[in-house]
């Protein structure tokens, strides 16, 4: 199934999808929305989720790293795991 | 065979609840390029009841660390591995633990946990030795 995307200021293009995929997307369109609006909304939502979780992880990692004792403890445990890996016959 | 480690539900949950030791452990292991498997059912169990910010941190650490990968339950072989692991247990075992064991057996990697006591009874259910390493306060 081919359908046009209407992009103001951009050239229109065509995306080929299965008809069932088109139908799934069609069901998500809000009143007054075009396919292009829908795809942009979905892409924005996806990027927002990824960015939010990345930021949560970055902030968490930075805060955790401020705790020198906890970092040292993690290093010691990682050494222990590495030794265990050697005993088990593989390079971690 | 290269060695990695399987993270269990308790360790994942400890991370989600802000355990700074676990946070640094995942960062250090990632820096050392040690591979870490996250069983899908362990992740699912760990996510139960978490707030949205806690979920974002837990999913965020998995999505953004190349050393961590989710061990799925998507193929017939993976489903069969889980069924076999439950079948050979001498007593009923919960799905989450059984999946963690199935992943560990498949990869031949030890399980890393923050709560060894939770595994004490469980490991007696299986007729084989489980390799479990605890990341405890004294480490």
How much is the mean pLDDT over chain B? Answer: 94
Q: Taking CB atoms and an 8 Å cutoff, what residues of chain A touch B107?
A: none
Nearest CA in chain B to A79: B29
Is the ipTM higher than 0.90? The answer is: no
Count CB pairs under 8 A between chains A and B: 95
pTM of the model: 0.88
Q: Is the pLDDT of residue A72 over 90?
A: yes
pLDDT tens digits for B75-115?
A: 999 999 999 999 999 999 999 999 999 999 999 999 999 99
Q: Mean pLDDT over residues B8-24, rounded?
A: 97
B5 touches chain A (CB under 8 A): yes
B119 touches chain A (CB under 8 A): no
Q: What is the DSSP letter of A67?
A: -
Q: Taking CB atoms and an 8 Å cutoff, what residues of chain A touch B20?
A: 63-64, 67, 70
B110 touches chain A (CB under 8 A): yes
CA–CA separation, A32 and B73 (whole Å):
40
């Amino acid at each position: 199934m081919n359908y046009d995307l209407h992009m103001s200021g951009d050239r229109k293009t065509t995306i080929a999808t299965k008809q069932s995929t088109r139908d799934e997307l069609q069901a998500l369109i809000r009143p007054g929305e075009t396919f292009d609006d829908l795809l942009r909304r979905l892409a924005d939502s996806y990027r927002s989720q990824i960015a939010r979780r990345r930021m949560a992880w970055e902030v968490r990692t930075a805060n955790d790293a401020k705790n020198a004792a906890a970092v040292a403890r993690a290093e010691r445990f990682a050494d222990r795991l590495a030794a265990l890996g050697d005993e088990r016959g593989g390079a971690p | 065979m290269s060695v990695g480690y399987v993270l269990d539900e308790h360790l994942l949950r400890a991370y989600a609840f802000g355990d700074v030791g676990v946070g640094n452990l995942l960062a250090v292991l990632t820096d050392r390029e040690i591979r870490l498997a996250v069983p899908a059912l362990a992740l699912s169990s760990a996510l139960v009841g978490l707030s949205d910010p806690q979920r974002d941190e837990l999913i965020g650490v998995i999505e953004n660390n190349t050393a961590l990968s989710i061990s799925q339950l998507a193929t017939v072989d993976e489903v069969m591995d889980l069924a076999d692991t439950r079948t050979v247990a001498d007593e009923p075992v919960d799905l989450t633990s059984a999946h963690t064991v199935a992943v560990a057996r498949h990869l031949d990697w030890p399980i890393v946990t923050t709560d060894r006591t939770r595994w004490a009874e469980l490991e007696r259910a299986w007729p084989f030795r489980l390799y479990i390493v605890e990341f405890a306060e004294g480490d």
